[in-house]
Each structure stands twice: as structure tokens, then as C-alpha cells.
Structure 1
Amino acid sequence: MIWNLDTTHANVDFSVKHMAISTVRGSFNLFSASGETDDATGLPTKLSMEIDATSVNTNNEQRDGHLKSPDFFDVTNFPKISFTATKITGTPSELTIVGDLTIRGVTKSVTLTGELSSPMKDPWGLQRCSIEVSGKIKRSEFGLTWNQALEMGGVLVSDDVKLTVSAQAVAAVEVAA
């Protein structure tokens, strides 16, 4: 079955440690995704996502501007972030997705884990399912190396970034020929 992302019921979120004492959270407001599942197993067989890096939102305009700058995402030269699954294993309730994540023109393999719901019919007769996955990356591996040393030791922004995608998808409607 072919699925398309319902962006009104989806979130692409990230978090980092700030000064090693607190967590700063952010999200991307604009993205698209599609996928396919095997009708027999219910497991995804294909999954891809494209994120508009210019839509980064941390609820702080100054910080968002810095994240869009060449110090981080460099959205003028790299306006998109993409993910394409290369291997999907497990069960719908214990899903592992390995894929290629591209940020700033650098592609690295990442592993996301989570779960996929069983399809259900919504009040308008459409088939829907949801997926929730999370993982962790090192931002320095994608060229996001800006940082500032702290007087007491450590750095301003952690290298580890936690990622979470929560999304609802709608089955593509086939049009009769």
C-alpha cells in the first residue's frame, strides 16, 4: 500500500543539550514524506522524507536565524534535509529503520527505532496509519561543528542531537483508468 504524509498530523522534532545543563527543543514546520507497506506483513518497504531546513523553529527568532546561518544548516546553500530508508526490519511494534540522512550535503547512515500503527479507517473512509520513530545523531558528522567553549569546561551546544518523527499517513487513493 502507498502512503502519503498528512502534514497536519505530523511533527519533526529535535533536541540538544545547552551548556550541558538544559535541553533545547526545536522542530521543522515544513516537510513531506511518502512510503509503502507490504500488505501481508504491514511492514514498511519504502520510506522517504524531505525537510525544508529554512522552516527550523525553536521559538526563538535569534536562535533560529543562527541555525539557518552557515554556522549550522547554511540554508542558502543547503535548503533541504532528506532521509531515505535503506533497510527496514522488525515488527510494526518494534520497528528499526536504517537510512541515509543528508544534511548540508553530507550523507550518513542513521538508525531510527519506533513503531507503526495498524491501518484504520477514518470518519471519511480513508485508510490511515501512524509512525513514531526516534534516534540520535552527532551533528559534527554532518558539518555542523560551530560551538563555544565554556569557562567551567564543556561546550555551549552538545554534539548529540536527538531526533523524533511522529507522523500520520493516508493511503493513496487509486484512480480507476
Structure 2
Amino acid sequence: MKMSMKSVITLIAVAAPSFAFAAAYDIDAAHSSADFSVKHMMVSNVKGNFKVKSGTINIDDKDVTKSTVEAVLDATTVNTAEPKRDEHLKSPDFFDTAKYPTITFKSTKVAKAGKDKLKVTGDLTMHGVTKPVVLDVVGPTPEIKDAFGGMRRGVEATTKLNRKEFGLGWNKALEAGGVAVGEDISIVLALELTPKKDAAAAPAAPAAPAAPAAPAAKGTK
């Protein structure tokens, strides 16, 4: 059966959505946070944060298990609202930020964990050590339009890790027993996402076949 050129173009246009990639989003660092808390002197929790530096999240809404996450935190920005303590945290006793200025996470697996919940497994690199961790994620939220006409989504992730596994082993024994700094660190990531500026909505569709050349008029060379 012969098809007209118009029919071929129409068929390609209808089929094009099947080539679409998952939607790519940048982490909006200015509207995202990375907070942590750790036991202090066995009696209370010290809370602090790092600035989010950058990151990309690819979200496949049709099959969320195909989604991917990459994020970078700026370890040099560690802040617990106490300058002397912050300088100690930046020193070789802890994060050694002169040598290891960033903390990175790259997902290796995404699994559903209930309505609007995910388990995201990935490699966390901190203080030059890479270990697998699991993030408990709520979201991603549906896209909404912000006050400036842009689109946004959000995710929140929590996890707990042992700092000694990443070589952050400094501590000081207390006279009454116990230690100055707890080993377990609780982490909360609150991320706002915006559509990736350089992301293509879809790969180029196959080029339509060229129309056959019209026969030359009689009497011409």
C-alpha cells in the first residue's frame, strides 16, 4: 500500500512521544537544604547544615524506578551556629574540607515504598570514602507553577549514617562516661527542583523520507 507524504509525516508525529526521555530537573540550590543532627555530650542534639551546591534528578513518572539522582553538597559551608565548632568540623579531625570540599550522592537503585514514597539506594562519597546508603524519600510532588511562571517540584529525603564508616572518627571521652560526639548522624534533605535548562524534551524524530524529484519537463536538458 502506497502512503502519501502527508501520511508519512503524520505517522512520525504521532509516534514521536514514544521517544521521550524522562523529565530532567536541576536542584535549585538557593531553595534547598541539607540539615543534620548528632548527639552532643550524651544529653542533647547539635543541629547543623551544609549548602546544596548542585544536582540533577531525572524523573520518569511512568516508571519511577527508572529515575536517577545526583547531588553535591558543599562541605566547606558546614554550619552549626558556633564558629569555633564549625572550624573544628572543617579540620582534619572531621571533614577535612581543604582536602575533601564536597559531599556527593549518586543513585544506583530506586524502588517504590508506598504511596508517594521511595527507597533510593546510592553511593555517598564523604571525606574521601564511598559507601552505599539508602534514602527514604517522600515525593516527588507534581509540578506546580511558581509566582514567576516557572515550573517546580519537590522531594524530601531522610537517612541515618555512622560517621566512623566515613573516617570521621574524632571523639573525646567524658569523665562521667560516654563520649562528646555521637556516632550516628541523622540527615534531612529538602530539595526544590526546576526543569533542566539545557534538557531536550525529546530526541530528534527520524527524518522523513525525501519526496521523489519531479520528472523533468519534455524539451529540456
TM-score (normalised: structure 1): 0.93
Counterpart for residue 107 of structure 2? 85
Q: Cα RMSD (Å) of the superposition?
A: 1.8
Which deviates further from its counterpart, 65-74 or 80-89? 80-89
Counting strand residues as a fraction of each chain, which structure ranks higher?
1
TM-aligned CA deviation for residue 104 of structure 1: 1.1
Q: 1:44 to 1:26 in 2, by over 3 A?
A: farther
Which amino acid is the alignment partner of residue 85 of structure 1? Answer: S
Q: 1:43 to 1:119 in 2, by over 3 A?
A: farther
Per-residue Cα deviation, 1:143-162 (whole angstroms, up to 9, x for no partner): 00000011111110000000
Counting helix residues as a fraction of each chain, which structure ranks higher?
2
Question: For 1:130, which of 145, 154, 158 is the aligned residue?
Answer: 154
Counterpart for residue 154 of structure 1? 178
Q: Give me the whole-angstrom Cα distance separating, in 2, the residues matched to 1:92 and 1:11.
A: 24
Q: Give me the whole-angstrom Cα distance separating, in 1, the residues matched to 2:61 and 2:131.
A: 30
| Greater radius of gyration (CA) | 2
Contact 1:82 1:101 in 2 (8 A): yes
Q: How does 1:54-133 map to 2 (within 5 A)?
A: 54-90=76-112, 93-116=116-139, 117-133=141-157
TM-aligned CA deviation for residue 127 of structure 1: 2.1
Q: 1:42 to 1:123 in 2, by over 3 A?
A: farther
Task: Tell me the secondary structure at the aligned position of residue 30 of structure 2.
Answer: strand
Residues 1:23 and 2:45 are matched in the alignment: yes
Contact 1:35 1:44 in 2 (8 A): no
Gaps of 5+ in 2: 1-22, 205-221
Counterpart for residue 210 of structure 2? none
TM-aligned CA deviation for residue 43 of structure 1: 5.8
Give percent identity, aligned residues only.
41
TM-aligned CA deviation for residue 32 of structure 1: 1.1
Contact 2:157 2:189 in 1 (8 A): yes
Contact 1:42 1:118 in 2 (8 A): no
Contact 2:65 2:109 in 1 (8 A): no
Contact 1:94 1:115 in 2 (8 A): yes
Which deviates further from its counterpart, 35-44 or 75-84? 35-44
TM-aligned CA deviation for residue 68 of structure 1: 0.2
Task: Tell me the secondary structure at the aligned position of residue 53 of structure 1.
Answer: strand
TM-score (normalised: structure 2): 0.75
Per-residue Cα deviation, 1:50-78 (whole angstroms, up to 9, x for no partner): 11111111111000000000000001111
Task: Tell me the secondary structure at the aligned position of residue 169 of structure 2.
Answer: coil
Task: Tell me the secondary structure at the aligned position of residue 29 of structure 1.
Answer: strand
Task: Tell me the secondary structure at the aligned position of residue 59 of structure 1.
Answer: coil
Counterpart for residue 139 of structure 1? 163
Task: Tell me the secondary structure at the aligned position of residue 29 of structure 2.
Answer: strand
Which deviates further from its counterpart, 138-147 or 97-106? 97-106
Aligned residues: 177
Which amino acid is the alignment partner of residue 24 of structure 2? Answer: I
Q: Give me the whole-angstrom Cα distance separating, in 2, the residues matched to 1:157 and 1:175.
A: 47
